Amino acid sequence: MSEFVIFPGLIMVLGAILIPVLGGSLRLLALLGLPALTLAAVWALPADASLQVAFLDYTLEPVRSSAEGRLFATVFAIMAFVGGLYAHRQASTAELTAALVYAGSAIGVTFAGDLLTLFVFWEIMALGSTAVIWSAGTQAAYRAGLRYLLVHLLGGVILMIGIVAYGVDTGSLEFTSMQADSIGTWLILIGFLVNAGAPPLSAWIADAYPEASPSGTVFLSAFTTKTAVFALLVGFPGTEILIPVGLYMVFYGIIYALLENDMRRILAYSIVNQVGFMVAAIGIGTEMALNGAAAHAFAHIIYKALLLMSAGSVLLMTGRRKCTDLGGLFRSMPVTAINGIVGALAISAFPFTSGFVTKSLETQAAANEGMLIVWLLLLAASAGVFLHAGIKFPWFVFFQKDSGLRPSEPPVNLRYAMWLFSILCIAIGLFPNTLYAILPYPVDYQPYTVDHLVTQFQVLLFAGFAFFVMLKQMRRTLTISLDFDWFYRKFFKEIGREFTIRSSAAREAREQQALAWVNRFIDRLYRHHGPQGILARAWPTGSMVLWVAALLGFLLLLDYL
């Protein structure tokens, strides 16, 4: 289109410059106003809006409006708005600035019509999110952020190589549906999956996110993995390999969340679990499945942020994050507990919450395609979600044996942010057609059927019964669960240290051998040229003349020959 086109993502990216120079109410106005302005720009773009730019031999499309992009950009802007409200009093200037850059670059990805623009915003997002982690200001956050950055730089390199290969193969950089049938597309797929938290690098989420500040973790939960879901939804719908990858993520997240003692690590592993549902649905690839993945991502950003806001409020007011140190907090933090329970019910797909009307699209899509095993596994996983996030988190933090802690409720801005997301979780559950209307494809689905309600209540009741029957086994102890990050945090480090020790020993041995050879050479020279050496003795002049004459004669003879 030739008319003026707005860059929605750049509003927050460039607007972040204002945060360090503003204070007080003006800073809050910027934190809330920039996401609101971005949301308005998202919906002001016409459905077919496009901006094309010539670059070398390619045509780039920095802005392309699509149903998928608008949906994800909408929830990203909402998340930035409520996250800013939650963070503005206790977060540092660096964190708030980085968070806006992070959110804006995620929106930039959702409107990218070409792979090069996507890659630029993708990498800005990696840098912004790393800055959010480092803003916590602790040594643990610095180390976790460094590992996080290395993982995402690896994913970025893989993605860039794939984009270059794809451009050479096809002569185009358009970001559209692709088939994983060439080196380029496979590398692009792997690059997307790294950000989604797919195996074997799933551990970076639970490694890095809990080390950020309470508000930083809320921001981190929303953008990176869901941007990857958007990229997979647009770029690789119906790619069957995503089904087993997604199912692995689903059960990996459940198992590690059940083993975990740290409340924020429980919720971080739950992110992997929930994204696994979306990845599997994208692999199924039907319109209902893709609608389910998109709707689930929308709802997940809200209820996961709500859960982490609740956990962050507990951490802020108590300074403790392990379940073994908490319990009975509902007595002094009832508002935080209520909002945490709403988030727990939503993530568990409890009827009349957002999770119920979004996740069911994915399971129904599997049933419609006759994928019995996939449907059964997703149904079983729903019970697992209720175990670790729906019951375990609120029970051990707010209701288990009283810890004796009596913290007050968090500051008012944190409570307002939690209430806003709680209202959204319930509103989407009660009025799902509002969300269905903005999904990528037309929706012909009714979530509130007797069959669906009965099935879901059975799953939830069974999971709840199993939790309390096995409560002694569910109680956490002060243990550490080893994950794949053990390899690059410990194993590869020890391998590197061993290699360094052995290579240093080998170098020292070679140096000793060389020094011994030099010493032997000097000794030989000394024997011949030293004071007692044969070449250092005094020779009579006559003898020297005789030797010189003999040598000259020998040379003359050689010359005639």
Q: Which residue, among 454, 286, 290, has the nearest Cα to 356 in the 3D structure?
A: 454
User: Residue 350: pLDDT above 50?
Assistant: yes
CA distance 534 to 530: 8
- C-alpha dist (Å) from residue 248 to 126, 261, 275, 295, 355: 25, 22, 11, 21, 20
**What is the structure's pLDDT at 1?**
42
| Environment class of 523 (CB within 10 Å of its CB; exposed 0-12, middle 13-18, buried 19+) | exposed
CA distance 364 to 382: 13
Supply the DSSP symbol for 198. -
CA distance 402 to 397: 10
List the chain domain ranges: 1-236, 238-477, 490-560
In this structure, of 292-296, 399-403, 536-540, the range with the lowest mean pLDDT score is: 536-540
CA distance 406 to 404: 6
User: Residue 267: pLDDT above 70?
Assistant: yes
Supply the DSSP symbol for 536. G
Beta bridge partners of 114: 174
Condensed to tens digits (0 to 9), the pLDDT of residues 183-222 reads 999 999 999 999 999 988 889 999 999 999 999 999 999 9
Condensed to tens digits (0 to 9), the pLDDT of residues 100-141 reads 999 999 999 999 999 999 999 999 999 999 999 999 989 999
In this structure, of 124-133, 261-270, 276-285, the range with the lowest mean pLDDT score is: 261-270
Q: Which residue reads 């869901």 in tokens?
A: 226
Helix/strand/coil (H/E/C) assignment for every residue in 273-340: HHHHHHHHHHHHCCHHHHHHHHHHHHHHHHHHHHHHHHHHHHHHHHCCCEHHHCCCHHHCCHHHHHHH
Q: Give the mean pLDDT of 20-45.
A: 92
Taken in order 275, 142, 311, 465, the sign of the CA dihedral is: positive
CA distance 128 to 425: 28
Q: Give the mean pLDDT of 507-514.
A: 86
Cα–chain-centroid distance for residue 496? 26
CA distance 48 to 66: 7
Please check whether residue 140 is in contact with residue 200, taking contact to mean a CB–CB distance below 8 angstroms. Answer: no
Please check whether residue 249 is in contact with residue 120, taking contact to mean a CB–CB distance below 8 angstroms. Answer: no
